[in-house]
Each structure stands twice: as C-alpha cells, then as structure tokens.
Structure 1
C-alpha cells in the first residue's frame, strides 16, 4: 500500500514533501508506544539518502537521527523500486531477529519522499511460542485408546451428563425425532464409553431418550446379542 498526500493548490513539490515529513514525524512516538513488545519506529527522508533517518522512537538498532538507511532502502533507491513491504524478517547487528514493515509515502508527482519503518523484536514472542508449544500434548495416553480429548469434570453426575450429551451428539438427530435405530446407536455409544458403570445410569439414559428402563435393558441385550461371537449364540436349530 502506497500513500500519496496531496498539497494545497500552488504549493511546490518541495514544500509538499516537507509537509509529508512533518506529518509523519508526529506519528513516530505514538506508533512506538502503541505497538506491543519491544518496538522501534524509524522515519526516513528519502531525499537525504544514505543518512536519511530524521526521527526515531525505540532503541532496537541503536540508530539515531542522521543515521544510515538500511540495505533494503539503499537497494530500492538504486533501482528505483520503492514499495511498501509488510511483515518481512530482519535482524540487528548482533543477529537478534525481528519483524519489520516499511511503508513508502509519495508526493503528488509520484516520487517516493519518505519511508516509515516499524521494527518489532520477535525474540520474546519466539520464546513464548516455544513455551506454548511445549505445553501442547504430543501423543495420546498410551494405555487409554481414547480418540477424544480427556474431559476433567467435577463429579460423577457431571461425568454422566457429559458422556450422555456426547453420545447423543454422535447420532446427530434430535431425541424427539429419533427412531429405534438412533436410540440403539446412542445406547451403543454409552455402552462403549462405560456409561453403564455409573450409578442409576439406566434410569438416566431412559429419561434422556424418552423410553422406559426396560427398553434400555432390551437395547443392551440386543447389542450384546449382535456383538457376541457367533459360537456363543444359540439359535432354535441348536435346541
């Protein structure tokens, strides 16, 4: 993005450039104070290259007014390829990395007259990102076989409600619209999650599904029958 500031009618190009620089100079300190972390804001008067710095706030690079332009600006001047560049990498003389943005401002004739540069030290952010990454789970619990994130809740009742809601959500059908196959699927999911190990679980499941306790028991028997090994099943032809 390139900014062009137009001067009042009849104002000379030189005076227009001066106005641009004066306006930008007033932004240097506020920008530095508003940017989080260690920050440096530098204003370059491109008519003064190579010693083009006319205002500085912050002290990442140790530069002052009258200091030199960076290699990026010098290269752009030599090739007349000034352009706004946001979020590129940079480093100071000691190799400390930072994130930089350079905004080019032009006069009404299209000539680049100023560069406003914002540099942010990324060292602290990198350490924070590495710390955050070290706290993230890298593997699943080896002996749990769980495919879902472990939920830490307060008591057994909360555990029951969480497991029940999770099983119903898997079917993805409102309870009042469920057919038998849907309710069977919910009971299957509850069984697989160990729900029926909890106290009064059958009654809780029955109330949630709008059926009787005996229906839940029948569902469980049906599921047990379907999942039992073939050799364990008894048919009428075997009697």
Structure 2
C-alpha cells in the first residue's frame, strides 16, 4: 500500500466517527507530508471553523518535530483543546497513522465540544460549594488543563505568531535588549516546537527577534 492509499483508507473513518458522535464531534484527517495544507478530510467543521487544505495545529507540529518521543505511541487521548477565539473547550484525541517504515505520515483527530458540559459543571460546583479546599483543587486541575491546550483554527501566520508569542511570554526581556545567547535559546525553544517546519516562519521569527533571516539560519545551524 502506498502512502497515498494509506491516507485515503482513513477517509471513511472520518464519516464513521462523525456519524456516531454527532454534531458536537469534529473529526479531521491530516496528511503530515504537507504541513501547510494538511487537512484532507473533515466533518463538523463548524466547531473550529477549519476547512480542507488548512494547516496543522501547534500540538501536531510539536509531535512531528519530536517524532522519536512518540515513536512507540499509537495514539494520544483526552487532552484539552481550544478554538481560536477561546469560545469552545474541546476534548481532543489523536490516532497516529504510520507507513510500513513506521514513519508518521498522518493523524486522525477527534475533537469533542465539551463547552456546555464544562459550563454546567462550573455552575453546579458554584451551587454546591462543598468546601474551599475542593474548589482550590478543581481550579488547579482546570489550570493544568488549560496549560496543555491545543489551539485550533489558526492560519499559518497566526499559528507561527501564536507559538512565538507563547515562547516570548516566558521571557521578561524585550527582544531589543536580549543578548545573543538569549536569542539563540528562544530559537532553540521554537525549534523544539516545530515552528521551522513551516514555510515563512524564518521571516516571522527574525522580525520578532529583530535580527536578519541569515542570523536565524546561523543559530539553527549552531543548534545542529
């Protein structure tokens, strides 16, 4: 079976899963051989607003770059995702599609909209107010969930900018005041998130760090 045939063989699963779980379940098939337009099949796209030929997510990029970390995993289930405008909370799961060489070439993703359930739980918790300690525990668990979120519905430029801004937010120093080593570390962290797998990312990172594209290429070469 060729790689194209393997990817195509999962397309019926998109409809199958969507028909089982209904309109609150978005199902997407990604072809990771083309990250900039990876979506080849989708159902219930009203949830994230994505379409055929849209790009991968930040989480998918990280998996592709750190593929050795996931080489023994067949799937990841029940992590948290959020839509572009933060209006929806999703319970996300991803199945890894590998070819006969065990190379990761695709992903089958199932994103269940649990926004209404989340709001209902918050309302009930507020009414019950069993004890302060339990509320603190719940808030911490919710914070942990948000920290592990996947962002859906971003364009390529928005995706790259989102990852760059996220990395820069953890550094209190403005790019204009950063030392060379600090900028190299920013590039290293962005690299680990798979940013440079996307076309045009070099230019965006260079602009944010206030250096030339050649400088970014040099930093990446030094990280090899």
Structure-2-length-normalised TM-score: 0.50
1:159-179 per-residue CA deviation (whole Å, 9 max, x = no partner) reads xxxxxxxxxxxxxxxxxxxxx
In structure 1, the residue matched to 2:43 is: 57
Q: CA deviation at 1:32?
A: 1.3
In structure 2, the residue matched to 1:126 is: 118
- Higher normalized contact order (CA 8 Å, seq sep 6+, divided by chain length): 2
In structure 1, the residue matched to 2:134 is: none
Q: Which has the higher helix share?
A: 2
Larger Rg: 1
User: Residue 79 of structure 1 is aligned with which of 66, 79, 82?
Assistant: 66
* Runs of at least 5 residues in structure 2 that lack an aligned partner in the other structure: 132-224
CA contact (8 A) 2:23 2:44 kept: no
- CA, structure 1 residues 123+68, in 2 after alignment: closer, same or farther (shift >3 Å)? same
In structure 2, the residue matched to 1:102 is: 94
Where do residues 55-204 of structure 1 align in structure 2 (5 Å cutoff)? 55-59=41-45, 60-81=47-68, 82=70, 83=73, 84-95=75-86, 96-133=88-125
Structure-1-length-normalised TM-score: 0.47
- CA, structure 1 residues 41+127, in 2 after alignment: closer, same or farther (shift >3 Å)? same
* Runs of at least 5 residues in structure 1 that lack an aligned partner in the other structure: 1-6, 8-14, 140-239
Q: CA deviation at 1:98?
A: 1.1
CA distance in 2, matches of 1:130, 1:137: 10
In structure 2, the residue matched to 1:192 is: none
